[in-house]
Chain A
Amino acid sequence: MENSSMYIISVYSENQVGLLSSISNIFTRRGINIESLTVFPSEFPGIHHFTFRAITTERAAQQVVGFIEKEVEVVRAFCFPDHVTSSAEHGILEEYLKQRNQ
């Protein structure tokens, strides 16, 4: 059994009704729980950027990325181990929550 750890799955897509549901289904079908999710307009006009964080194996994360990219409206998808990435939004939010809970 491969080790599970936190992965960041980053998706660039058209802004299309129902797409979030289709993408989250790809996690659901494999029994992967989404730990956090952010959706923003990306730096490219008309393209949205989804960032998922989920605990899973590298093999499953790669497969999820493949299936996400198969969605017609998805332009590109990537995955990274959590420890090699940093996210400004997550950092700010986590810092805020930490301070509020103190």
Chain B
Amino acid sequence: MGQRLTGAEILLESLIAEGVDTVFGYPGGQIITVYDKLYGYSDRLKHVLVRHEQGAIHAAQGYARATGRPGVVIVTSGPGATNVITGVADAMVDSTPVIVITGQVGNAMLGTDAFQETDVVGMTGPIDKWTYQIRRPEDVAPAVAKAFHIASTGRPGPVVLDFTRDAQVGVGWFEYEKCTHIRSYALPAPADEAAIEAAAQLIDEAERPFVVYGQGVVLSHAEEQLKAFLKKGGIPAASTMLGLSALPSDFPYYVGMAGMHGNIASNMMTQKCDVLVAVGMRFSDRVTGTPSKYAPHAKIIHIDVDRTEIGKIIPVEVGILGDAAEVLERLTERIRFSFHDEWAASARRYDAVEASRVEAPETAPADGPVNMGEVVSKVAELSGREAIIVTDVGQNQLMGARYSRFAQTRSFISSGGLGTMGFGLPASIGAKMGRPDRQVVLFVGDGGIQMTLQELGTIMQEKTAVKIVILNNNWLGNVRQWQELFYGERYSQTRLLNPDYSLIAKAYGIRYRMLDDRAQLEDAVKEMLDAKEAYILDAHVCEKGMVYPMVPGGRRLDEILLNKDEWYRDGE
């Protein structure tokens, strides 16, 4: 038998029943009943008080990405709800399981423009996986159960529960039953046998097979299945940005990151392969360059759990709808042992060019100001490649992605599809709370950190030991790079006059060190990594630093800029 509880208590009991131990949130008028009940649950549910609701949802995203468990957010109605919208859209496009509970006015006041009332269902519907308005206390537990089921199965995503005041204060019977089935919502079924057979045949016949994988591999825990598949087929593989760390960077068949700022090998091999197997990725325009010129010689096999992704951007020869782990396992059984040694080895030739022409000048310059890539590379080296790398958006993100050299899965957390500046700082807080056992290092620009700077207060209050590296160049660097390359060096509104970050750090009681001298780099990074508490390393990097190689927007993937004036020429 169940108990008689208020809807607010039922919510908290339901979260606990789903195994939630941490929630991120901010109180307010229409969620105050939940916060009142939370007071009595403080031994069972840790609530992290952020400084702005956007911080709550990005922290929950960081938590989810680091742990694989849904992140939970509790905010109030009206502005509380609208402030989480960016994060909801971000979690949707990056397939991150997040449960957002927004307070809402009483049932009788819905639709009356009541104080702090807003149409949450109408606003979040187009940008989340599921929205539901809870109007009665007895609906709370089933709604939470459905929310967890929907957020964490299939292609994961954000779910919004709009929790009216009547449902919070009313009393109902509580008995929790996990949701395992919704008749209108099908879970991934075993993949079609004929499609797997057709794919295996294409792979066996290929002379230059190639794999591009995305975050789907991480989400379906298919890392080992992917390795086995690549080894048996002798197939080189590239990762999308969100797929990074699914394979170790030194895995023999790994050739690097795909796309606009990806590795030369990955992009050249995409354009040359004759069969391309896409696994758990969605052919973002940042990955494909001009879609009509993507992989022109390849027959495409697309494995994805989301039916709408297959054929959405790139027409496919074989589409396989299913879970990546299951499909890869069955595909591996079917394909022949193959070697494509000469083809796979061509990656090393491209890598050699990239190492000497792009990497060496970036990560090991002889003189001049400290470079962004140099700092990232030093962090990878001194952390033993063990850290979870969180990034904001822009050059810090691209450098963090390019030079981090991952060793274990779930080690890269970044806002990919939406490209949300301000994501990094709160996401790093959530990642550290989800994985206190791991080192968490944030790379953030001087622009992006100011979009959610207030979350330093959360770090102060929660004593969250995140290591914050500000790649500080006094510019909005990525836009500045585009202005330099494509807009005639007209630097429109990209110059930043920054605050003194040492004083900001002091105000929040966070350890701080400024770095502007290469001779200090090793010592500074070591001191930061050794710190037991939060730490800000304010790296004053080359002001006009650029991220290369670069496939400019609207180009083919083999049209690669090595620097401002020089295109990559194949055969070098």
Most chain A CB neighbours (cut-off 10 Å) among B122, B126, B308: B308
The answer to whether B125 touches A66 (Cβ under 8 A) is no
Asked if B131 is at the interface of the complex by the 8 Å CB criterion, the answer is yes
Considering only CB atoms, which chain B residue lies closest to A19 in the complex?
B125
The answer to whether A18 touches B183 (Cβ under 8 A) is no
- Write the nearest CB–CB distance from B421 to chain A, whole angstroms: 24
The answer to whether B308 touches A18 (Cβ under 8 A) is no
The answer to whether A25 touches B184 (Cβ under 8 A) is no
Contacts of B312 in A (CB 8 A): 63, 66
Once the chains are docked, how many angstroms separate the CA of A9 from the CA of B306?
20
Contacts of A74 in B (CB 8 A): 184
The answer to whether A22 touches B126 (Cβ under 8 A) is yes
The answer to whether B133 touches A72 (Cβ under 8 A) is no
Asked if B130 is at the interface of the complex by the 8 Å CB criterion, the answer is yes
- Write the nearest CB–CB distance from A2 to chain B, whole angstroms: 13
Asked if A99 is at the interface of the complex by the 8 Å CB criterion, the answer is no
Asked if A17 is at the interface of the complex by the 8 Å CB criterion, the answer is yes
Once the chains are docked, how many angstroms separate the CA of A14 from the CA of B122?
18
Cross-chain pair count, CB within 8 angstroms? 40
Contacts of A70 in B (CB 8 A): 306-308
Once the chains are docked, how many angstroms separate the CA of A67 from the CA of B308?
6
The answer to whether A69 touches B121 (Cβ under 8 A) is no
Once the chains are docked, how many angstroms separate the CA of A90 from the CA of B43?
61
Once the chains are docked, how many angstroms separate the CA of A67 from the CA of B129?
11
Please judge, given known A-B contacts A66-B308, A70-B308, A72-B150, whether A18 and B182 are in contact too, CB under 8 Å.
no
- Write the nearest CB–CB distance from A15 to chain B, whole angstroms: 11
Sort chain B's interface into a size bin.
Answer: 10 to 19
- Write the nearest CB–CB distance from A43 to chain B, whole angstroms: 16
The answer to whether B307 touches A66 (Cβ under 8 A) is yes
The answer to whether B307 touches A69 (Cβ under 8 A) is yes
- Write the nearest CB–CB distance from B496 to chain A, whole angstroms: 34
B 490-522 binary contact with A (CB < 8 Å = 1; else 0): 000000000000000000000000000000000
Considering only CB atoms, which chain B residue lies closest to A66 in the complex?
B308
- Write the nearest CB–CB distance from A70 to chain B, whole angstroms: 6
Asked if A95 is at the interface of the complex by the 8 Å CB criterion, the answer is no
Contacts of B129 in A (CB 8 A): 72
The answer to whether A72 touches B185 (Cβ under 8 A) is yes
Once the chains are docked, how many angstroms separate the CA of A69 from the CA of B155?
14
Once the chains are docked, how many angstroms separate the CA of A98 from the CA of B185?
41
- Write the nearest CB–CB distance from B518 to chain A, whole angstroms: 49
Please judge, given known A-B contacts A63-B312, A72-B150, A75-B183, whether A18 and B131 are in contact too, CB under 8 Å.
yes
Contacts of B183 in A (CB 8 A): 14, 75
The answer to whether A72 touches B122 (Cβ under 8 A) is no
**Residues of A14-56 whose CB lies within 8 A of B:** 14, 17-18, 21-22, 25, 29
A 75-91 binary contact with B (CB < 8 Å = 1; else 0): 10000000000000000
The answer to whether A72 touches B130 (Cβ under 8 A) is yes
Considering only CB atoms, which chain A residue lies closest to B129 in the complex?
A72
B 115-135 binary contact with A (CB < 8 Å = 1; else 0): 000000110011001110100
A-B CB contact pairs (8 Å), 19 listed:
A14-B184, A17-B121, A17-B133, A18-B133, A21-B125, A22-B125, A22-B126, A25-B125, A25-B126, A67-B308, A69-B308, A70-B306, A70-B307, A70-B308, A72-B129, A72-B150, A72-B182, A73-B184, A75-B184
Contacts from A to B (Cβ < 8 Å):
13-14, 17-18, 21-22, 25, 29, 63, 66-67, 69-70, 72-75
Beyond A29-B126, A66-B307, A72-B129, 6 extra complex contacts between A and B, CB < 8 Å: A18-B122, A18-B133, A22-B126, A70-B308, A73-B185, A74-B184
Contacts from B to A (Cβ < 8 Å):
121-122, 125-126, 129-131, 133, 150, 182-185, 306-308, 312
Q: Which 3 A-B pairs have the closest CB atoms?
A: A66-B308, A22-B125, A25-B126
